[in-house]
Chains A and B, each alone.
Chain A
Amino acid sequence: MATIQPLREETMIINMGPQHPSTHGVLRLVLELDGEYVVSCRPVLGYLHTGIEKNTEYRTWQQGVTFVTRADYLSPFFNELGYCLAVERLLGIEAPPRAQVIRVMTNELTRIASHLLWLATTGLELGAISIMLYAWREREVILRIFEMITGLRMNHAYIRVGGVVMDLPEGASEQVRDFLDVMPGRLHEYEELLTGNPIWRQRTEGVGHVPGDELVALGVTGPMLRAAGIDWDLRKQLPYCGYETYDFDVPLRTAGDCFARYEVRIEEIRQSLRIVEQCLDRLEPGPVMVEDPKLRWPAELSVGPDGIGNSERYVRHIMEESMEALINHFKIVTQGFQVPAGEVYQAVESPRGELGYYVVSNGGNRPYRMHIRGPSFVNLQATPRMVEGGLVADVVASVASIDPVMGDADR
């Protein structure tokens, strides 16, 4: 042993983050560097911990939606859907068909918006600034649609236990259709810009490579796993919300590097567009919330100039016409409803992977315990495996290819 010479005299420790433009929020990486090479990487989390899980224990079941939607703030509809599906399973109810279709449609639009944001920021970090501007432009179109439907650009609290809070406004389907017409051409433009671009390929090909079986061991899900050749998409394998009835493909690549993850995400946008189109064709008139007056959110809401508010017709109804309606409104809004004791684990396929909700009820009007299995949290465990031994410049590409959202990781 005494004959072995140390390879390096000294290493340098640098903090990448928590305030660093390429860490997607407030991820901190403690990197040990030997020249340009990463010797070790230690991710430090918690800078965006907001106590969402603890907070929901003090709010009614319906209020929980407004908390979870803020966890993964780039795909709010997925949080709402996972939470609501879990609570609905505890209650033993199912949302009406129209609500299911609206849920799938808003979810897939969110997936597109989330992947576009990923494309924009990753492009920016790797020096492709024009893609940032283009992807941001298309994401803006989706956010305008969301604003029209829910009154808010993000943190919508639109999907509620028992359905969705209000029906699509007039003209929403047309706006979505307009987007569907434009988007395929725009996707083609993105690929023209990036796929054959030698700089883009050099920055991503072979970078951050991890084989599929190691990703499974590390708990990684989502596009990262599919880019390593593992055919795993909850929408196909363990479907929810009627996904088994939609026609779409799960894009796969085998390279398992950053470029493959880029290809998978671009292709997923295409597949999401297909699903959204099918949703529009399936939108039959009907209720969007369960009928049970002991469960359904009583207020009729509408989108006004400053966001969602009670519709004037409804306010007149409870204040002037019906005492019973006012009592029911008061009871549901202040006390909520009881959920039978029990526990469920409900997972949905978010743009980042398996987003799981473990919800425990003790029979009260508030969750006893609610745990979010954030895909960003678990996926980030793969960071040291991806970057150790590589160049420090590739850390940026590798972390970007995980697509972590720190709100989802820290909750």
Chain B
Amino acid sequence: MIVAELAERLRARHPDAVEARGEVTVVVSPDRLLDTLSSLRDEHDLRFTFLSDLTASDWPGLDLRFWLAYHLLSMEHLHRVRVKVGLPPRPDPPHVPSVTPMFPSASWLEREVFDFFGIVFDGHPDLRRIEMPEGWEGHPLRKTEGLGGVNTRYKGAFIPPPDQRST
């Protein structure tokens, strides 16, 4: 389906739907998330029944520091949409409602975001770390956490780890 047509259709319900690079993005507030996703899923001309991906990015310094991105797919109409939710830095950890009851495929993806970014998904049936060890402290994909690594000896000199190099 043509992306412009989808953007037009979405704008009727979400006036701020943005179209860029052949993708449509809808930004919602955390309290509107579940309503938005269920209407995207259920309305007959949208039918986003498949949650492809769910992840986050960290922007320290912004009023809304954490941005969750939900990538939905409609196998019926062959279109995709991205739903984004911004969360403030306080309280830390931030909370957002879980979509796992709506999209079971979100279960592990939410666990991954919890693990890497420390975002708590309220209502998730089993919110535990998934990639990092159980006793791990911190959330490694936050920008405030370093990459880690040691100096590497190369031809008599030491090369600093990647996050401490100048270029």
Is B38's beta carbon under 8 Å from chain A?
A: no
Is B162's beta carbon under 8 Å from chain A?
A: yes
**Shortest distance between the CB of B153 and any CB in chain A (Å):** 20
Q: Is the CB of A216 within 8 A of B78?
A: no
Across the interface, name the chain A residue whose C-beta is closest to B25.
A343
B23 cross-chain contacts in A, Cβ below 8 A = 344-345
Pick from A53, A92, A219, A354: contact of B104, CB below 8 A: A219
Q: Is the CB of B53 within 8 A of A46?
A: no
Q: Is the CB of B162 within 8 A of A55?
A: yes
Is A410's beta carbon under 8 Å from chain B?
A: yes
Q: Is the CB of A45 within 8 A of B131?
A: yes
Q: Is the CB of B49 within 8 A of A216?
A: yes
Which of B8-16, B29-37, B85-93, B105-113 is found at the contact surface with chain A? B105-113
A378 cross-chain contacts in B, Cβ below 8 A = 105, 108-109
Is A64's beta carbon under 8 Å from chain B?
A: no
Q: Is the CB of B131 within 8 A of A217?
A: no
Within 8 A of B (CB), among A367-407: 368-369, 371, 373, 377-378, 380-381
**Shortest distance between the CB of A368 and any CB in chain B (Å):** 7
Within 8 A of B (CB), among A48-96: 49, 51, 53-55, 57-59, 89-90, 92
B50 cross-chain contacts in A, Cβ below 8 A = 216, 219
Across the interface, name the chain B residue whose C-beta is closest to A48.
B131
Across the interface, name the chain A residue whose C-beta is closest to B106.
A219
Across the interface, name the chain B residue whose C-beta is closest to A59.
B162
**Shortest distance between the CB of A65 and any CB in chain B (Å):** 16
A219-B52, A343-B69 given; A232·B130 CB < 8 A: no
**Shortest distance between the CB of B133 and any CB in chain A (Å):** 7
Pick from B55, B108, B131: contact of A381, CB below 8 A: B108
Q: Is the CB of B162 within 8 A of A58?
A: yes
Is B155's beta carbon under 8 Å from chain A?
A: no
Q: Is the CB of B132 within 8 A of A377?
A: no
Q: Is the CB of A53 within 8 A of B141?
A: yes
**Shortest distance between the CB of A411 and any CB in chain B (Å):** 8
Smallest CB-CB A-B distances: 8 pairs: A219-B105, A373-B53, A369-B57, A371-B55, A46-B131, A58-B162, A49-B131, A217-B104
Q: Can you list 10 contacts pairing A with B, beta carbon distance less than 8 Å? A: A51-B147, A53-B116, A89-B21, A216-B75, A238-B80, A343-B82, A345-B52, A369-B141, A373-B53, A373-B55
A interface list, Cβ under 8 A from B: 45-46, 49, 51, 53-55, 57-59, 89-90, 92, 216-220, 230, 232, 237-238, 334-335, 342-345, 347, 354, 356, 358, 360, 368-369, 371, 373, 377-378, 380-381, 410-411
Given A45-B131, A54-B141, 8 more A-B residue pairs with CB atoms under 8 Å apart are: A58-B147, A89-B21, A216-B50, A217-B103, A219-B103, A237-B78, A358-B71, A381-B108
